[in-house]
Structure 1
């Protein structure tokens, strides 16, 4: 691991920066091609790039592990990215779509309360509450309902549920020495097959031979490989609550991306939301550190 990413908090900041870059990619890609087609080529290209580095290990893996990672990948990639992007294309306002999609940390915390051996303590709930307040403040200006059909508003909620399920399932698996690149390859390959069918129903799969489409897909490799890669890496070394809670920083940072790339105005509420979300992340990390110390102090 790079020394620069040895700190859990620095890894989470890097995760948020890469994860939120997907907003810029889809904002630009929406003018180039249908979002499901962009998503299919995004996942397929990422899988092909990882294939030479993962194939040797994949060939030796038991089918059970391949199946587990394939299922998690379908939830985390096809189940998260596709519905949220399609909701915005259908007319759900980006602010509302971001808010609904980023409810996954709350769903993860609730799920931990139901699982044996997991719990969400008071300080973690406080951190999650601060993070949710930050998302509400940051996206408040964009919470109009939009012009989408009623059923489209369920799509970003489905994204939040899919990521929460993928996070909880991955965190419950026994510790594995599976290389991160191999884990990502299996997930992306399985998700590409799913998106092949979904995008194929919508229309032709031939990519537009334009520079704009190529740039959009290449940019989306940042959240695909680095964003999800850092998410799984953080989950290997931290609690589901703290790792998923870091995503509460994603909407405010995505708005900063929009300001930098599209010259959109910065609202005071966005900056305040960023501070609340940051406070929530610090609270979650403090709760995690104290949780590691308690067993040692009790011995």
Structure 2
């Protein structure tokens, strides 16, 4: 019975991580739809406005019992994890960085989370996890290298995707170290989405327009971004943060670039280099190693599960 329960638990964990990766990849596919319909900032603004409208009925019960510090906590998460990640990447592409190059820099996110994770108690990378990290990183670089195009643009512009990586990594570690009060994932996501709407409203207005174009392609792209990239991507991401170690989440995120490339090949007929498949293989080999727990962690976990006396 215990063996069956363990297998079901492993299957559920694997499906949750897979859902996070697919949802995270869907954002790139969604922006492919809206790229020719309007500005990235305009699409992102209406993505979050629509997401807030969809989330409000589900988030309302939790909002009524909300405390001020919880609002600040999740507002900061939204600004750094959503606004601070999407905004700089979109700006870098607008200023001349090739999407493939921006994507490669953004794909340093898992490595950044693992390296900075040592500052969070219980999240330090140890032993075989370093080998898994090296394999996953190698797989990501091999899979992404074919899509990189270094266009001529100001050097400082290339720092924007790196800024996006640092912003989301900081939000990830902040949430892991200080998870805040317990609330539903939909309530938390609603607060985070509302926090970034003014940011993208300003950015879209600076580009000239905040009214959505009356085009089917734009509407389809925005709905796609809401359903899969926002509700799915960030929803599954925060759920995984509650359930898994930073190392295991980062290992799964290394699969995002090759999954996106394969998806674009299937849906749009984009060329798929053989190096992408080699990269996927390397990442799949490293993923179990990166998800391994240290022996000391097991001992600490068992100790923490023992009954405690009155305090």
Answer yes or no: same fold by TM over 0.5: yes
Matches within 5 A, 1:126-205: 126-174=131-179, 176-205=181-210
Q: Which sits farther off after the overlay, 45-54 or 86-95?
A: 86-95
The correspondence for 2:267, drawn from 246, 258, 261, is 261
What is the number of equivalent residue pairs in this alignment? Answer: 296
2:97 corresponding residue in structure 1: 92
How far 1:12 moved relative to its partner?
A: 0.9
The correspondence for 2:236, drawn from 224, 230, 241, is 230
User: CA, structure 1 residues 263+121, in 2 after alignment: closer, same or farther (shift >3 Å)?
Assistant: same
Question: Could you list the per-position Cα deviations for residues 12-40 of structure 1 after superposition, in whole angstroms to 9, with x for gaps in the alignment?
Answer: 11111111011111122111111111111
Aligned CA RMSD, in angstroms, stands at: 2.2
The correspondence for 1:13, drawn from 4, 14, 18, is 18
Q: Which sits farther off after the overlay, 275-284 or 50-59?
A: 275-284
Q: Which sits farther off after the overlay, 21-30 or 180-189?
A: 21-30
Determine the C-alpha separation between the residues in 2 that align with 1:95 and 1:88.
Answer: 10
Question: Could you list the per-position Cα deviations for residues 194-219 of structure 1 after superposition, in whole angstroms to 9, with x for gaps in the alignment?
Answer: 21122222221011010010011011
Determine the C-alpha separation between the residues in 2 that align with 1:37 and 1:259.
Answer: 27
Q: Which sits farther off after the overlay, 264-273 or 83-92?
A: 83-92
Determine the C-alpha separation between the residues in 2 that align with 1:25 and 1:56.
Answer: 31
TM-score normalized with structure 2 length: 0.88
User: CA, structure 1 residues 5+115, in 2 after alignment: closer, same or farther (shift >3 Å)?
Assistant: closer
Is 1:284 aligned to 2:305, yes or no? Answer: no
How far 1:116 moved relative to its partner?
A: 4.5
Is 1:76 aligned to 2:81, yes or no? Answer: yes
Moved over 4 A (4+): 3-6, 289-292, 296-299
Matches within 5 A, 1:38-77: 38-77=43-82
How far 1:291 moved relative to its partner?
A: 6.2
Q: Is the 8 A contact 1:70 1:186 kept in 2?
A: yes
TM-score normalized with structure 1 length: 0.92
User: CA, structure 1 residues 289+16, in 2 after alignment: closer, same or farther (shift >3 Å)?
Assistant: farther
Determine the C-alpha separation between the residues in 2 that align with 1:196 and 1:280.
Answer: 41
Q: Secondary structure at the match of 1:241?
A: helix
Determine the C-alpha separation between the residues in 2 that align with 1:264 and 1:174.
Answer: 40
How far 1:47 moved relative to its partner?
A: 1.3
2:253 corresponding residue in structure 1: 247
How far 1:65 moved relative to its partner?
A: 0.8
How far 1:56 moved relative to its partner?
A: 2.1
Determine the C-alpha separation between the residues in 1 that align with 2:170 and 2:201.
Answer: 22
Q: Secondary structure at the match of 1:7?
A: helix
Give unpaired runs (5+ residues) of structure 2: 1-7, 307-311
Q: Which structure is larger by alpha-carbon Rg, 1 or 2?
A: 2
Give unpaired runs (5+ residues) of structure 1: none
